[in-house]
Structure 1
Amino acid sequence: MNQRWWLWLERAQATVPLLAVAGLAGFTWWLVQSSPKDGGGARPALASSSPDFVLDKARVARFNAQGRIEAVLDGERMRHYPDTDRLQIDQLVLSARDDKGEGLKATSRLGEADHKAEVVTLSGGARVTALPVADQAASPRNRPVHFVGEVLRIDTRSRVVSSSEPVLLQQQGSEVRAQNLRYDDHTGITDLGGRVHGHYDAP
């Protein structure tokens, strides 16, 4: 009788770990099923709408594959916003030239640009000047052309100036106003849209 009792006790002891594991698994399953559902997967963290850095009297320069400067963007203060990866600039000054020496000079009270200064939007007293090649003979094409408006956009890669808001074109005594504008600095062609009025002095 005692031998049977000990045999039964040994078998019972052997099953205790299995029962404990099964009980733990059941409790875990119950805990998961009882947890409140959040209605979906993990939500991504919201990008910050605050600047991650602020620089005073800062400069951003872009170089081509040969190491020549294509565009230089200066500002009294620059703020970088990580959620859009864009720069906000106070007292913006922009200079962009190609390998022939033709280029654009721009100023405005405020500006916004991507981190490579490829596309720049000027606002508040925006002024863009198309600069001719300095060593070429004087001609209508080689006179500086000024564009003035509240909002002007510059693509420094293609050197195209555009605006969907009223703009003033000035060139050596000539003044023309339009509702919108597209100027290609490579060709010197200006497209003026909407109501256009003013005077243009022929050379």
Structure 2
Amino acid sequence: MNSARLWRHGKEQFFAWLPALMMALFALGTGWLVRHTPDFTAASTVPGPLTHEPDYQMRSFAVRSFDAAGRMTSELRGVEGHHYPDTDTLEVSQPRVRSFDAKNQLTVGRAERGVSNGDGSEIQLYGQAQVVREPNTGADGRPTPRLEFRGPYLHAWVKDERVSSDQPVELLRGPDRFTGDRFDYDNHSGVANLIGQVRGVIQPARR
């Protein structure tokens, strides 16, 4: 009798605690699954590496820059433009560039294709590239002649007022003409450095 009573009592205690044991096992199993299941949501939000694919494009557009006083300092126009986020560059077909210095002196540029950096301060011109600084009056009151650069490639720094190229270039200063294998021009100093096979034709001054 004592054995039967103990057996019956133990069985009753087992079935009484069975739901709690099952819940504990279920909780342990759920915790293990949570710890070992991949977080697909977090993985999907991690940005992948940027590829050289355009994230937006424009047609028949114009991008303008202004100084703190609201004066336009530069303008870039194009038939079509594609922005690439990996390099933060804008590739433009048939670019047309206008830039004004602190004295409001105008410089214009054009080419078959152009590449501008993110803030438009640096523009590379490819294919029949041309940059022209219109005639003006210098600080000494004397007129400065029209200055033009031509070549297959020109690199313009708009804010620094510099133009350079590592390819052959033709420089026209008023009626004078110069050619070189590469060059660098600084508008602040007014000096153009021609390098390589340099040739020039200087017209006699008119009296």
TM-score, length-scaled by structure 1: 0.81
1:64 alignment counterpart: 67
1:155 alignment counterpart: 157
The two structures, once aligned, show a CA RMSD in angstroms of 2.7
> C-alpha displacement at 1:49, in angstroms?
2.9
2:41 alignment counterpart: none
> C-alpha displacement at 1:25, in angstroms?
5.2
2:122 alignment counterpart: 119
> C-alpha displacement at 1:126, in angstroms?
0.4
Q: Is 2:106 the partner of 1:103?
A: yes
Inter-CA distance 200–53: structure 2 relative to 1 (3 Å threshold): same
CA distance in 2, matches of 1:127, 1:27: 67
SS where residue 14 of structure 1 aligns?
helix
Inter-CA distance 44–12: structure 2 relative to 1 (3 Å threshold): same
Residue type of the partner of 1:53? Y
Inter-CA distance 14–105: structure 2 relative to 1 (3 Å threshold): closer
Structure 2, gaps ≥5 residues long? 39-44
- Number of residue equivalences: 192
> C-alpha displacement at 1:10, in angstroms?
1.9
Deviation per residue, 1:12-61 (Å, 9 max, x gap): 443222233345556777x66xx9xxxxxx97424343323332221111
Alignment of 1:130-141 (within 5 A): 130-133=133-136, 138-139=142-143
Inter-CA distance 130–202: structure 2 relative to 1 (3 Å threshold): farther
TM-score, length-scaled by structure 2: 0.80
Structure 1, gaps ≥5 residues long? 36-41
Alignment of 1:79-94 (within 5 A): 79-94=82-97
Inter-CA distance 135–162: structure 2 relative to 1 (3 Å threshold): closer
CA distance in 2, matches of 1:111, 1:120: 7
1:166 alignment counterpart: 168
Bigger relative CO (Cα 8 Å, ≥ 6 apart): 1
CA distance in 1, matches of 2:19, 2:95: 82
CA distance in 1, matches of 2:32, 2:107: 73
Residue type of the partner of 2:106? G
Q: Which of 19, 23, 26 is residue 17 of structure 1 equivalent to?
A: 23
